[in-house]
Chains A and B, each alone.
Chain A
Amino acid sequence: MSDTEPTTSDASTSTLARQLEDLDRVVYRFRQNPMSVIGLGIILAFILIAIFAPWIAPYPSDAGYAGEPAVHYDQKFEPPSAEHLFGTDQAGRDVFSRVLFGTQLSLKIGAVVLAAAVSIGVPIGLAAGYFGGRIGMVLMRITDVFLSVPPLVLALSVSVALEPSLTNAMLAIGAVWWPWYARLTYGEVLSVKKETYVEASRGVGASSVRTIFRDILPNVLAPITVKMSLDMGYAILVASALGFLGLGAQPPTPEWGTMVSQGRDYLPAQWWYSTFPGLAIFLIVLGFNFLGDGLRDMFDVEVQ
Chain B
Amino acid sequence: MGYRDYLIKRGLSTIPMFLGLSVLIFTLARVIPGRPARLALGPRATDEAVQQLREQMGLNDPIWQQYIEYMRGLLQGDLGQSLISGRNVATDLLEYFPATFELTTLAMLIAIVVGVPLGVIAGQHKDKWPDNASRLFSFFNVSLPPFWAGILLQLFIAFQLGWLPATGRIGDVSPVPVETTGLLLVDSTLAANSAAFISAAQHLILPAITLSLAPVADIARMTRSSFIEEYDKDYVEGLRTHGIPNRLIAYKYVLRKSFASTLTIIGLDYGFLLGSAFVVEIVFSWPGMASYGVEAILQKDINAMVGVTLVVGAAFLIVNFVVDILYGFFDPRVWHEGESE
A residues contacting B by CB (< 8 A) are 1-3, 35, 141-142, 144-146, 148-154, 156-164, 233, 237, 240-241, 244-247, 257, 260-261, 264, 267-268, 271, 274-275, 278-279, 281-282, 285-286, 289-290, 293
Contact = CB atoms under 8 A, between A and B. Distances in A.
A161 B34 contact: yes
B155 A152 contact: no
B313 interface: yes
Given A157-B25, A260-B147, 10 more contacts: A150-B275, A153-B313, A157-B309, A158-B32, A160-B296, A160-B297, A245-B279, A245-B297, A285-B143, A286-B139
Given A146-B24, A152-B278, A281 B148 contact: yes
B155 A156 contact: no
A90 to B, nearest CB: 16
A3 B341 contact: yes
Nearest to A263: B151
Contacts, number: 164
B144 A282 contact: yes
Given A148-B21, A160-B297, A241 B305 contact: no
A289 B21 contact: no
B159 A268 contact: yes
Given A160-B296, A160-B297, A160-B302, A268 B155 contact: yes
A145 to B, nearest CB: 4
A161 B145 contact: no
Given A150-B271, A160-B297, A244 B147 contact: yes
Contacts of A247: 297-298
Given A150-B272, A152-B278, A289-B139, A163 B144 contact: no
A12 to B, nearest CB: 21
5 contacts: A35-B136, A148-B17, A160-B305, A278-B152, A279-B148
Interface residues of B, number: 59
Contact of B152 (A142, A241, A275, A290): A275
Interface in B250-289: 271-272, 274-276, 278-279, 282-283
B303 to A, nearest CB: 10
B173 interface: no
Contact of B145 (A1, A35, A145, A257): A257
Nearest to A236: B145
Contact of B20 (A35, A141, A163, A289): A141
B26 to A, nearest CB: 10
Contacts of B142: 289
A39 to B, nearest CB: 9
A161 B17 CA distance: 24
Nearest to A281: B145
A164 to B, nearest CB: 8
